[in-house]
Amino acid sequence: MDLIRIIFAVILPPLGVLLEVGISRQFLLNILLTLLGYIPGIVHAVYIIARR
């Protein structure tokens, strides 16, 4: 299941975080990072998914 979330995180980072933690502070942070730059959003999303 984590592999699917990581694939979603690479394609659309907020979706990967949403599937992992739901609507939370981490999700909103990931949206902000993705808007500021696509790569920081991916890094944050993979970190959140791998951490759990």
Distance CA 37, CA 4 (A): 22
Give the confidence band of 2 by pLDDT, cuts at 50, 70, 90.
confident
- Is pTM beyond 0.75? Reply is yes
Is the CB of residue 31 less than 8 Å from the CB of residue 21? Answer: no
Sorted by where each begins, the domain ranges of the chain are: 2-51
Distance CA 52, CA 47 (A): 9
- Measuring CA to CA, which residue among 36, 35, 26 is closest to residue 45? 26
What pLDDT, in 10s, does the model give residues 6-37? Answer: 998 999 999 999 999 999 999 999 999 999 99
